[in-house]
Amino acid sequence: MSRSAAPRRSRTEVALSIGVLVLGVGTAIGTVLLPSQGGYARIGPNFMPGVTGAGLILLGVWLLYEVLTGGWRNMPPQDAAARGEHSFHAPAFAWVSVGLFAHMALIQTGGFVLAGAVLFACVARGFGSPRFLRDLAIGFAIALAVFAFFVLVLTVNLPAGWLAPLIRLAGIE
């Protein structure tokens, strides 16, 4: 059990370490492309990117070294049950993501209330709630209340979407 888990763990650690290294190299390349005008003695707008890039490269190498010499140090237990959790549940991850993407797609056309209701229902679904329509209704009520509070009390603009004609009718604006 633990033997089969160990290689997978180090594979993610390798991937993350390489990710840090790649970010460092990318930063370094970006630094070279920056002009260094302004400032004294090589201290232009490309100085800090250089330091950051170098630091990230060093840290990436350091992380890789830890992987190669027995894995990252002081890690929480790899086994989910030992952390008091269950194993990775992909549908939950996907539902939360879908909710957020739907929210991005809807907020400017459909308005804050609609986008919020859909987001709410998707996230609730991901966390195991079986009643999508009820959640949609609850999300709608919450988003509507927040919308009203922000627009009427705080006078902060939020996209009204389909509510816009209604608001104009009521003459609130």
Partner 1 sequence: MHGFEVALLPMNLLWGAIGVTLGTAVGVLPGVGPALTVAMLLPLTVKLSPVGALIMFAGIYYGAMFGGSTTTILLNTPGESASIATALEGNKMAKRGRAGPALATSAIGSFIAGTIATLLVTLLAPLVVEIALKFGPAEYFALMVFAFTTVSAVLGASTVRGLTSLFAGLFLGLIGIDSQTGQPRFAFGVPELLDGVDVVVLAVGLFAVGEALYVGAYASRIPEVMDKITGSLWMSKSDWKRSWPAWLRGTAIGFPFGSIPAGGAEIPTFLSYAVEKKLTRFPGEFGHGAIEGVAGPEAANNASVTGALVPLLTLGIPTSATAAILLAAFQNYGIQPGPMLFQMQADLVWGLIASLYVGNVMLLILNLPMIGIWVKVLTIPQPLLYGGILVFATLGAYSLHESVVDLATLYVFGLLGFAMRRWDIPVAPAVIGLILGPLAETQFRRALSISQGDPSVFYQHPISATLFALTALLIVVPWVMRRVKKTRAAQR
d(CA 51, CA 58): 11
CB 89, min distance to partner 1, A: 5
Cβ nearer to partner 1, comparing 91 with 162: 91
Cβ nearer to partner 1, comparing 34 with 166: 34
* 3-state secondary structure labels for all residues of the chain: CHHHHHHHHHHHHHHHHHHHHHHHHHHHHHHHHCCCCCCCCCCCCCHHHHHHHHHHHHHHHHHHHHHHCCCCCCCCCCCHHHHCCCCCCHHHHHHHHHHHHHHHHHCCCCCHHHHHHHHHHHHHHHCCCCCHHHHHHHHHHHHHHHHHHHHHHCCCCCCCCCHHHHHHHHCCC
Among 92, 98, 144, 148, binds partner 1 (CB under 8 A): 92
* Interaction mask 38-67, partner 1, x per CB under 8 A: xxxxxxxx-xxx--x--xx--x--xx--x-
Among 5, 32, 79, 101, binds partner 1 (CB under 8 A): 101
Among 11, 12, 168, 172, binds partner 1 (CB under 8 A): 12
**Is residue 165 close enough to count as binding partner 1 by CB under 8 A?**
no
Residues 121-150 that bind partner 1 (CB under 8 A): 121, 123-129, 135, 138-139, 142-143, 146, 150
**Is residue 34 close enough to count as binding partner 1 by CB under 8 A?**
yes
CB 166, min distance to partner 1, A: 20
